Every structure is written in C-alpha cells, then in structure tokens.
Structure 1
Amino acid sequence: MKIGELARKAGCPVETIRYYEKKGLLQAPLRDIENNYRCYNNTHLEKLLFIRRCRSLDMTHEEIRALLLAINNRGKDCGPIDAIISAHLTHVQHRIKELLALETQLKELNGYCSSDRSVDECGIVQKLTADEENGDLPLTVPTDHLGGVH
C-alpha cells in the first residue's frame, strides 16, 4: 500500500508516518522499482497503530523505542516492558501532582481580580509582575517534566 492509504488506515497525516520513519520508530518501507513510491504492508500498519496508541498514553519516543526493542526480543520475559510502563506511570503520577499544584496557583491568581477593573488596577497583573519578597506568587517550575517530548 502507498503512504496515503497507510495514513488513512492509521488515521494520521502522511507527515506523521514520515516523521516516525525519520525518528527510527517505524521501519522505512521498500520502494517500488518503477516509480520509487514507498510500499507499505500490514506490518507497517500494525506498528504504526502501536506507536499511535503509545503516543495516546503520552509516552515519549524513547519509551516507545524501548518498548519496541523489548517486543522484538520475543521469547524473553516481559519484565522490561513492565518496567517501562511502571516508570511511565510514576512520571504521570508526578505530573498530576504538579498539575494539581498549578491548578491551585491559578485559582489563587484568578481570585486577585475581577474583570471590572482597568489593566493598571488588575490584581493578576500586579501579582505576576511583583517579586516574592513582597509576598507575591512564588515562581514554580516543574523540575523533571520533559517539556515538548511528551
């Protein structure tokens, strides 16, 4: 099948398929001798769907690559697969705690103003532009989240 048909069956853009090939998550297909078109098969579709399911679980490319490597070691135990999922779960649990803390900060910030004030009197702007020494909002930055990778 051609790349457009693979994309349609997998429910993703053609660019996504090319990207996964470039990143080494999806094996590059053979090319048609006559027209040099990529020729995909059902194995490509299965692997692409697997990758997309992993991405829907917010897994990184490295986590997916590690899962694929562990799956390719057929006949061995699934311990490495369980370890990858357990580590990802721990990351997600930590991220949930960070997001809950962020929600608390945003709710607090939202309470500093109402929309009937001018921008110069806006409590939100005052809190965001003031410093911590005056009792204003502390800067909270996630320490271990892989921004942009997930």
Structure 2
Amino acid sequence: MSDMTIGKVAQAVGVGVETIRFYERRGLIEQPLRPKSGGYRVYPDETVQRVQFIRRAQHLGFSLREIAELLSLRASHGTDAIEVRQRATAKLQDVDHKIERLRHIRRGLMALLDRCPGQGPLRCCSIIDALEHDQRLASEPAERKEPDMQTVRLTIKGMHCDGCAEIVRHVLEQQPGVKGCSVSHENGEAKVAVDTSQTSGERLAEAVQGAGYSASLVTEAG
C-alpha cells in the first residue's frame, strides 16, 4: 500500500471522508500539508492503522477524549502497560454501571406493563398514570461508589530473579482493590493500579513484607 488520498484512507477503513476530517479536527490524526505543487493531500500508510485503532477503541466504549489519551500513551516509549490497564479497568467499571442502570430501567418497564390492562379508555392507563404521578416502580439501584484509582509505586529489596517478582506480583494482586500490577526484580520496583478507597500503599507494602521482602512506598517527592 502506498501513500493515499483522504478518499482512499476512508475507503480502506470503511468510513466516510467526513469521519477522517472529524478525527483531524479533534487532533486524533494529523492532517498532512498540501503539496506546494498543488493537488491532493497525501496520507502515509500509518494513518489507516491509526484510524482502525480509533474505531476499535470506540466500539469498546472509549470516548474520543479517552482515545486521545490512549494514543498519547501508545506514542510514549516510557509508558508502562499498567497505565493502559488502569484506563481499561475504569472503562469496564463504567460499563458495569450502565448495565445496572439498564437493568433498573427494564424492571421499571416490566412493572408498568404488568399493571397495564392493555385496553379501555386512556384515563384508565396505568402507564400514563404512573408517569404523571412519578410513582416509584422499582427499587433504585445501590448508589455507586466511585473508585479512587491510583498508581502506587513500591521500592522492593530482596528480589533476585523473575520467580521472586512473580511471588510479589501474586501477593499484590490478592490485595483488596488491586486491579493490576507490574513487578521488576531488575529495578527493584512494583507499580500497582489500585482503588485506594479499599486499601492503601502502606498496606500493600506490608503485604509484600509479609512475603519476606523489604518494601517501602515511593512518595511523590521520592
């Protein structure tokens, strides 16, 4: 595949030209300069891969703002996979919350339909009556407690091989609120994606110490 016009990019991905232009306006893909000699703008092959990345992320429920953050992480050589996992975990929690809301809506609609006689004058319609009088049709879902997701860093001493790192990783992943972690015996460090409303960095360090390793919390200043 060679350099392409915007029309060929759109055709390769299966979207309209206006979609490509919209992504350009949002800063998700770069608009190439128009040739000085005139003619069409020419897009590199990587544009197709980038648009496909955007479309797949959208299908998983990520917003354009969140996709921009993922693209930024993707372009950064210093990014740890735990940062991507943390964002995916937050999106999964958001999806679970929406599913619970839809279940609540379904219960309400079923309650309305159960009360509706399905015939007779409109003044006897239980659905209209319930909507007009704001009747509670189903129990409200439990109030959602927002997670306080953070990346906690621990300095760990005493790890000498990948097996040690695997032990530490297993210990950390068993702690409440931990959504993922990466452990390096070479760097003597662990990065943990954790809901700090359920546990703290100090408790994570204590858990590692209980496994026979020296562990301390890395503060922002440290």
Pairs within 5 Å for 1:39-50: 39-50=42-53
1:32 paired residue number = 35
1:2 paired residue number = 5
Structure 1 consecutive aligned stretches of length 4 or more whose deviation exceeds 4 Å: none
User: What is the Cα deviation at residue 75 of structure 1?
Assistant: 4.6
TM-score normalised per structure 2: 0.57
User: What is the Cα deviation at residue 26 of structure 1?
Assistant: 1.4
Structure showing greater Rg: 2
Q: 1:90 aligns with which of 87, 93, 112?
A: 93
Inter-CA distance 33–110: structure 2 relative to 1 (3 Å threshold): farther
After superposition, what is the alpha-carbon deviation per residue over 1:19-65, rounded to whole angstroms, capped at 9, x for unaligned?
A: 11111111122323343533212111100000000001111112111
Root-mean-square deviation (CA, aligned residues, Å) is: 2.3
1:65 paired residue number = 68
Identity %: 33
Equivalent residue letter for 2:91: H
CA contact (8 A) 1:128 1:137 kept: no
Verify: 1:74 aligned to 2:77, yes or no: yes
Q: Tell me the distance in 1 between the aligned counterparts of 2:134 and 2:91.
A: 36
**Which moved further from structure 2: 42-51 or 28-37?**
28-37
Q: 1:101 aligns with which of 97, 100, 104?
A: 104
Inter-CA distance 131–87: structure 2 relative to 1 (3 Å threshold): closer
TM-score normalised per structure 1: 0.81
Q: Tell me the distance in 1 between the aligned counterparts of 2:45 and 2:27.
A: 18
* Structure (1 or 2) with the greater helix fraction: 1
Equivalent residue letter for 1:88: K
**What 5-or-longer segments of structure 1 have no aligned partner?**
145-150
* Structure (1 or 2) with the greater strand fraction: 2
Q: Tell me the distance in 2 between the aligned counterparts of 1:82 and 1:27.
A: 26
Pairs within 5 Å for 1:114-129: 114-129=117-132
Q: How many residues align?
A: 139
